[in-house]
A and B are shown apart, each in its own frame.
Chain A
Amino acid sequence: MDYEKILCSRVRAIPPSGIRKYFDLLQGMEDGISLGIGEPDFQTPWHIRDAGIYSLEKGFTKYTPNAGLSDLRAAISRYLKRRFDLDYAPNGQVLVTVGGSEALDLAFRCLLEPGDEVIIPTPSFVCYGPLVSMLHGVPVPVETLAEDEFRLTPEQLRAAITPRTRAVVLPFPNNPTGGIMGREHLEALAEVLRGTDIMVVSDEIYAELTYGQHHVSMGNLPEMKERTIVINGFSKAYSMTGWRLGYACGPKPVIAAMTKLHQYAIMSAPTTSQYAAIEALEHGDGDIEAMREEYDGRRRFLVDGFRRLGLDCFEPRGAFYTFPCIRSTGLTSEEFCDRFLAAERVAVIPGSAFGPGGEGYVRACYAASMRDLAEALTRLERFLKTI
């Protein structure tokens, strides 16, 4: 069979990940160090794991309500109020999903007609473009700049809006740059969006990981709640990546539409994970603080290290990535990563993989042990001398 004919053109058009090769190469190396994967290196706190196990012991192994356990939705609602001053009703404004990723996919599915445009600030997480393209939508990348601290500016937003604009993605705190948007910066964007029919898809998966200032959600700016879908989850805040649990909050009709699709495609998010998540929300604030403090120390150490070695490094205030500029080496991002891996067995990711604006940078994740971070810097120093 000719599968090229069978597979739909849109999925064939999605470029393969340019990242895999680094992991494949790294795997064969004895003392390789990966600063490549964007995943917490902590285990899920034990009390949360224990709650999941306990739910299994009690025999809670069936589907949950489509939108998620009512206790979990209530806990999410209280948590969002407590931590981010967001107001979402547990019934009707909260949908529990399989990771933040499913929530993103659902949001686009519920919003886009063929040809609709979605504004996507880049560099950013790689999933937005392909998800939009699969729906016959048109991703409209907007390059954020180091001199703007990788924020989306109101001028850029205004310039990117057309009559076909259906949504704008707000991926802050940002992967890969570590950029964040303060209230005043969001307010400036809100000014552009008020009175339009453009929806904000606010990917706030790193909301708990900000350093020096608290995360602000677009959902608590005046007149923005009705045009915002807040997407969050448990992966980053509680080190629960493998549990695959996230959620979306937003206006009732939007969440109702997303829930309708979710019940056909997924039924309900994993039951064990939902019970564990209740424990996380009710008793996990301390875990968040402890992990954030640990990340913060590593963040300063790595940024400091890059700067001492002469690499320009934007001060990342969110997520767990540094995004040093490697233009001074005269190499492209990809050349830098290829050669650094080959010569010193350290994997970092070319900024170019994260869309327009990423060239000239590399992403190094500091969700790694201090020992690995220190060793990576030693090897980087050696590597830079050979260029």
Chain B
Amino acid sequence: MLKLLQLLEEDCTLTNDQLAAMANVSVQEVEETRRRLEEEKVILGYKAIVDWDRTQREAVTALIEVKVTPQRGDGFARIAQRIYQYDEVESVYLMSGAYDLTVIISGRTLKEVALFVAEKLSPIEGVTGTATHFILKKYKEKHLIFEKQETQEERFVFE
């Protein structure tokens, strides 16, 4: 199961046949395990990693440090939930250290993101402070490098 997850995390376009051969299990076992893992939310989904900078579409992403007052009984969960319900919010993480939540937001323009923080995020009850950091350039995400790598001249000697 772990092997299967590792393989899928690396490349979710692998077919069940390929996964079976690589993990050394039957195709049927792959199908069943995958179904179970999806049901149990061990596998949350399958998505493409897109470099929008290479397209016409304008997009900005910001990382927002959020300080909150934890609520009795719910801790941070309730506030996190109120934040992640917004479609603009890509990710929310509870952090150790100087602030409490990392919220990653994407929008079309700087202004759109700034307005979201000012009008939606900050007013949430329990949010005591925010600091917005815009992402200027992405170099690497999920082990994938955004820049095209230069390739070496290939050799064709016989080995």
Q: A and B, one complex? A: yes
Contact A37 B159 (CB under 8 A): yes
Contact B156 A297 (CB under 8 A): no
Contact B159 A39 (CB under 8 A): yes
Contact B11 A370 (CB under 8 A): yes
Question: Which one of A2-10, A19-27, A83-91 is at the interface?
Answer: A19-27
Contact B156 A20 (CB under 8 A): yes
Q: How far is the CB of B28 from chain A (nearest CB, A)?
A: 15
Contact A301 B21 (CB under 8 A): yes
Nearest opposing residue in chain B for A22, CB measure: B156
Q: Is there a chain B Cβ closer than 8 Å to A270's Cβ? A: no
Q: Is there a chain B Cβ closer than 8 Å to A300's Cβ? A: yes
Name the interface residues of B3-55: CB closer than 8 Å to any CB of A: 7, 11, 13-15, 18, 21-24
Contact B22 A301 (CB under 8 A): yes
User: What's the interface size class on A, roughly?
Assistant: 20 to 34
Q: Is there a chain A Cβ closer than 8 Å to B158's Cβ? A: yes
* Per-position 1/0 for B107-127, Cβ under 8 A of A: 000000000000000000000
Report the separation of the CA atoms of residues A353 and B100 in the bound assembly, to the nearest whole angstrom: 64
Point out the residues of chain A lying under 8 angstroms from B14, CB to CB.
370
The main secondary structure of chain B at its interface with chain A is loop
Point out the residues of chain B lying under 8 angstroms from A27, CB to CB.
156
Report the separation of the CA atoms of residues A20 and B158 in the bound assembly, to the nearest whole angstrom: 7
Question: If the complex has contacts A305-B21, A374-B18, are A297 and B7 also in contact, measured as CB distance less than 8 A?
Answer: yes
Point out the residues of chain B lying under 8 angstroms from A126, CB to CB.
158
Report the separation of the CA atoms of residues A374 and B15 in the bound assembly, to the nearest whole angstrom: 10
Q: Is there a chain B Cβ closer than 8 Å to A38's Cβ? A: yes
Report the separation of the CA atoms of residues A19 and B157 in the bound assembly, to the nearest whole angstrom: 8
* Per-position 1/0 for B146-159, Cβ under 8 A of A: 00000010011111
Point out the residues of chain A lying under 8 angstroms from B18, CB to CB.
301, 370, 374
The residue among A37, A125, A242, A305 with the most chain B CB atoms within 10 A of its own CB is: A37
Point out the residues of chain B lying under 8 angstroms from A297, CB to CB.
7, 21-23
* Per-position 1/0 for A345-369, Cβ under 8 A of B: 0000000010000000000000000
Q: Is there a chain B Cβ closer than 8 Å to A298's Cβ? A: yes
The residue among B22, B155, B159 with the most chain A CB atoms within 10 A of its own CB is: B159
Contact B156 A37 (CB under 8 A): yes
Report the separation of the CA atoms of residues A175 and B93 in the bound assembly, to the nearest whole angstrom: 49
Contact A300 B159 (CB under 8 A): no
User: Contacting A23 at CB < 8 Å: which of B13, B15, B152, B156?
Assistant: B156
Q: How far is the CB of B14 from chain A (nearest CB, A)?
A: 6
* Per-position 1/0 for A15-49, Cβ under 8 A of B: 00101100110010000000001110000000000
* Per-position 1/0 for B54-81, Cβ under 8 A of A: 0000000000000000000000000000
Point out the residues of chain A lying under 8 angstroms from B156, CB to CB.
20, 23-24, 27, 37
Nearest opposing residue in chain A for B24, CB measure: A300
Point out the residues of chain B lying under 8 angstroms from A191, CB to CB.
none
Q: Is there a chain B Cβ closer than 8 Å to A113's Cβ? A: no
Point out the residues of chain A lying under 8 angstroms from B21, CB to CB.
297, 300-301, 304-305
Nearest opposing residue in chain B for A43, CB measure: B149
Point out the residues of chain A lying under 8 angstroms from B7, CB to CB.
297
Contact B22 A298 (CB under 8 A): yes
Nearest opposing residue in chain B for A24, CB measure: B156
Name the interface residues of A197-255: CB closer than 8 Å to any CB of B: 242
Name the interface residues of A97-122: CB closer than 8 Å to any CB of B: none
Point out the residues of chain A lying under 8 angstroms from B155, CB to CB.
37
Point out the residues of chain A lying under 8 angstroms from B152, CB to CB.
242
Nearest opposing residue in chain A for B11, CB measure: A370
Point out the residues of chain A lying under 8 angstroms from B23, CB to CB.
297
Q: How far is the CB of A355 from chain B (nearest CB, A)?
A: 13
Point out the residues of chain B lying under 8 angstroms from A374, CB to CB.
15, 18
Point out the residues of chain A lying under 8 angstroms from B158, CB to CB.
17, 19-20, 126, 353
Q: How far is the CB of B149 from chain A (nearest CB, A)?
A: 9
Report the separation of the CA atoms of residues A371 and B7 in the bound assembly, to the nearest whole angstrom: 13
* Per-position 1/0 for A296-313, Cβ under 8 A of B: 011011001100000000
Report the separation of the CA atoms of residues A175 and B158 in the bound assembly, to the nearest whole angstrom: 12
Q: How far is the CB of B29 from chain A (nearest CB, A)?
A: 14
Report the separation of the CA atoms of residues A224 and B50 in the bound assembly, to the nearest whole angstrom: 57
Q: Told that A19-B158, A24-B156, A300-B24 touch, could you supply 7 new A-B pairs with CB distance under 8 A?
A: A37-B155, A125-B159, A297-B7, A297-B21, A298-B22, A370-B18, A374-B18
Q: Residues on A close to B: CB < 8 A?
A: 17, 19-20, 23-24, 27, 37-39, 125-126, 175, 242, 297-298, 300-301, 304-305, 353, 370-371, 374
Q: Residues on B close to A: CB < 8 A?
A: 7, 11, 13-15, 18, 21-24, 152, 155-159
Q: Which 10 A-B pairs have the closest CB atoms?
A: A297-B22, A23-B156, A301-B21, A38-B159, A304-B21, A17-B158, A19-B158, A300-B21, A301-B22, A301-B18
A sample of 6 cross-chain residue pairs with beta-carbon separation below 8 angstroms, ordered by A number, consists of A17-B158, A125-B159, A300-B21, A300-B22, A371-B13, A374-B15
